[in-house]
């Protein structure tokens, strides 16, 4: 059986192109066109009637002709029409699979060709651009002497490396912040870590006059003894963050033990099973949820004097019993005048009967931001129903302290409704929690007129805040850390972080609402202004004192080094004179003059050393008697600071 002509042709070896035929070009379309024109131009050729093959990589369907790696010689039209492709003899499924494989190979080869040619074109254009740049930049150098090929390659590599670094930098940090930070790091000196966090000027104009005792806060805190830090936590002032710093971020001989999943930590004294910290994260709400000044000053001494473990929270009935006993003791004391219960008598209230010293601390915040933050917290369902509000041994009645809502909570409350409630404890909360409520009849508003009541509460809160061992401001985290470390001589492990974006900052209010919030919290506004002035003056006073101590230490070191140098110089001269006595006598006819000079220098050196030692002894005695000298103005640093305050005014 004879095979068709197409089958015979498929099994034949590939034929070479005819002599005189043009070389194959890279473009298949151009090659087909040239070949067809050449075949048609020959006399007696039948190539004109042959159907032109499609270009490489293009097929007409499943029964299309196979693509050959080399161009085929033009054949007869009758043979081409009578014959089918070789793979047409196969089954249909086989032909389909072969065609899919061929199409994939054609697409892959096409993509590779396009990618290769695109990269070649990009490299060619880049070469021209870099050549133009080099010709402009290194033109004068080329006139002196032509650069060899190695130098050109090196410059090209450097430029490519620079471009790659720029691309990577833009990918990592697309904005301009990174570039600005790098420029500031190279241009500007090291910034002060205690610069004002609100970007205000470091030098401010004081409004209040404070004595040295008000500005100097140096607590000789004995963690191994009987001293106790009591943290008064006001709602939405950043007290939770500061409370965590106290139990997790302080360098101690015996750090607090904090377990995963538990809020409270065990903060024991070294070698004892007693706590040195009375706060939410160490002892829990032992005196009630968010106990205020009135509750803490009555509850904490009673708890400590009763020798109850501060880690165990007493029952609600036991808290009432403790506060009732404390109020009876206070009413039954011989000092029943107003001065005994006034805030100025905090020294007598900061100690217990057993001799323990209580150091009260707290954190304040801007009243408008704190008010908005509390409103957002109430919207989420917070009620603080567990707060006792015990004053004078009893909680307030429902008539004295009505509720602003009727349901279980006040969730979803709008801001207007929150501001319209006249019994809302969020109004002037900081003044109420820092003042002595027994001076105004607790929560009974009928004891005295409202204007007089507000004045007494504000003065009481100012006095208690001023006599506290320490207080900080939420808007000045780094300064708060600095003053706490200088006050208690306790260092934190990591620095505080200033968070300027809070829930309160996300609330957008107009000027009218802001003025109304300020009017509802007018006592807090005045207290915060007073606290901010006192806080910044304390900070500047402590910084100035620190600079003066550092300057004094440098001067003492310089004197000591000068004395050592003079001593070694005189010793070397004395050794030289003892080795060559005859030569020294011949060169120096008057040896007594050198001896007198050395004696005078040694006497001056001894006088300087004795003066420095006396100064150290005087400073130690001043530190020991600091409590007696707080009312005086004997410190040069204090006088300089008070003088500067007067100049600023």
Catalytic residues: 290
Contacting residues for 225 by C-beta, under 8 A, at least 6 apart: none
Select from 431, 394, 419, 405 the least CA-distant residue to 320: 394
CA–CA separation, 415 and 606 (whole Å): 74
Residues 6 or more apart from 447 whose CB is under 8 A from it?
440, 441, 453
Count of Cβ atoms closer than 10 Å to residue 223 Cβ:
20
Annotate 15-74 with DSSP letters as a single string: PPPPTTPPPPPS-HHHHHHHHHHHHHHSTT--GGGSPPPPPTT---STTPPPP-SSPPPP
Q: Are 408 and 401 in contact (CB under 8 A)?
A: no
Coarse DSSP helix, strand, coil percentages of the chain, rounded to the nearest 5 percent: 55, 5, 40
- 169 phi and psi, to 5 degrees? -65, -40
Using DSSP, state whether 364 is helix, strand or coil.
Answer: strand
Residues contacting 631, CB < 8 A, separation 6+: 211, 212, 213
Task: Work out whether the CA dihedral 336, 338, 342, 344 comes out positive or negative.
Answer: negative
For tokens 């509460």, the residue is 457
DSSP 557-595: HHHHHHHHHHHHHHHHHHHHHHH-HHHHHHH-S-HHHHH
| Residues 612, 614, 616, 620, Cα dihedral to 10° | -170
Q: Where are the alpha helices (DSSP H) in 236-382?
A: 239-248, 293-305, 316-332, 346-349, 367-379
H-assigned helices in 173-311: 177-187, 212-215, 239-248, 293-305
Burial of 155 (0-12, 13-18, 19+ CB in 10 A): middle
Q: Is 157 exposed, middle or buried (0-12, 13-18, 19+ CB in 10 A)?
A: exposed
Please give the structure tokens belonging to residue 490: 């306790």
């Amino acid at each position: 059986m004879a095979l068709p002509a197409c089958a015979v042709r498929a099994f034949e070896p590939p034929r070479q192109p005819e002599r005189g035929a043009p070389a194959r070009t890279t473009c298949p379309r151009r090659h087909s066109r040239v070949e067809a024109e050449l075949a048609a131009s020959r006399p007696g050729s039948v190539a004109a009637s042959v159907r032109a093959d499609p270009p490489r990589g293009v097929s007409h369907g499943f029964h299309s002709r196979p693509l050959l790696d080399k161009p085929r010689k033009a054949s007869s039209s009758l043979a081409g029409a009578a014959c089918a492709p070789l793979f047409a003899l196969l089954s249909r499924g086989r032909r389909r699979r072969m065609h899919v494989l061929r199409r994939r190979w054609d697409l892959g080869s096409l993509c590779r060709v396009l990618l290769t040619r695109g990269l070649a074109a990009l490299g060619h254009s880049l070469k021209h651009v870099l050549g133009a740049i080099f010709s402009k930049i290194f033109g004068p150098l080329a006139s002196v002497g032509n650069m060899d090929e190695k130098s050109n390659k090196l410059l090209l590599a450097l430029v490519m490396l620079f471009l790659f670094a720029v691309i990577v930098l833009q990918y990592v940090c697309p904005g301009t912040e990174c570039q600005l930070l790098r420029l500031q790091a190279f241009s500007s000196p090291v910034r002060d870590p205690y610069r004002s966090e609100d970007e205000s000027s470091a030098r401010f104009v004081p409004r209040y006059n404070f004595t040295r005792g008000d500005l100097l806060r140096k607590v000789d805190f004995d963690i191994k003894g009987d001293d106790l830090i009591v943290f008064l936590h006001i709602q939405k002032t950043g007290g939770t963050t500061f409370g965590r710093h106290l139990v997790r971020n302080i360098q101690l001989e015996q750090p607090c033990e904090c377990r995963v999943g538990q809020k409270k930590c065990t903060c024991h004294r070294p070698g004892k099973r007693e706590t040195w910290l009375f706060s939410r994260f160490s002892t829990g709400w032992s005196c009630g949820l968010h106990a205020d000044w009135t509750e803490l000053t009555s509850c904490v001494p009673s708890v400590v004097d009763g020798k109850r473990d501060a880690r165990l929270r007493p029952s609600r009935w036991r808290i009432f019993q403790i506060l009732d006993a404390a109020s009876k003791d206070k009413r039954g004391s011989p000092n029943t005048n107003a001065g005994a219960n006034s805030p100025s008598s905090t020294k007598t209230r900061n100690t217990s009967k057993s001799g323990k010293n209580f150091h009260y601390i707290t954190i304040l915040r801007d009243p408008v931001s704190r008010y908005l933050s509390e409103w957002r917290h109430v919207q989420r369902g917070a009620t603080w129903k567990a707060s006792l509000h015990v004053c004078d041994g009893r909680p307030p009645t429902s008539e004295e302290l009505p509720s602003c809502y009727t349901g279980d909570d006040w969730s979803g409350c709008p801001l207007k409704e929150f501001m319209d409630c006249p019994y809302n404890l969020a109004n002037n909360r900081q003044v109420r929690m820092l003042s002595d409520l027994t001076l105004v009849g607790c929560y009974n508003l009928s004891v005295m007129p409202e204007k007089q009541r507000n004045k007494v509460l504000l003065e009481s809160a100012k006095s208690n805040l001023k006599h506290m061992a320490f207080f900080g401001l939420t808007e000045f985290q780094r300064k708060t850390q600095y003053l706490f470390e200088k006050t208690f001589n306790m260092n934190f492990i990591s620095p505080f972080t200033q968070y300027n974006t809070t829930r309160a900052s996300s609330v957008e209010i107009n000027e009218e609402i802001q003025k109304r919030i300020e009017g509802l919290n007018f006592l807090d506004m005045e207290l915060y202004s007073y606290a901010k002035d006192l806080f910044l003056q304390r900070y500047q006073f402590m910084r100035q004192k620190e600079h003066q101590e550092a300057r004094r230490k440098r001067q003492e070191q310089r004197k000591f080094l000068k004395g050592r140098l003079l001593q070694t110089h005189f010793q070397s001269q004395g050794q030289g004179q003892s080795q060559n006595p005859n030569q020294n006598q011949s060169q120096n006819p008057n040896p007594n003059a050198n001896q007198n000079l050395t004696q005078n220098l040694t006497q001056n050196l001894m006088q300087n050393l004795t003066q420095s030692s006396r100064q150290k002894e005087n400073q130690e005695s001043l530190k020991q008697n600091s409590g007696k000298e707080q009312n005086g103005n004997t410190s040069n640093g204090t006088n300089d600071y008070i003088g500067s305050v007067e100049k600023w005014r």
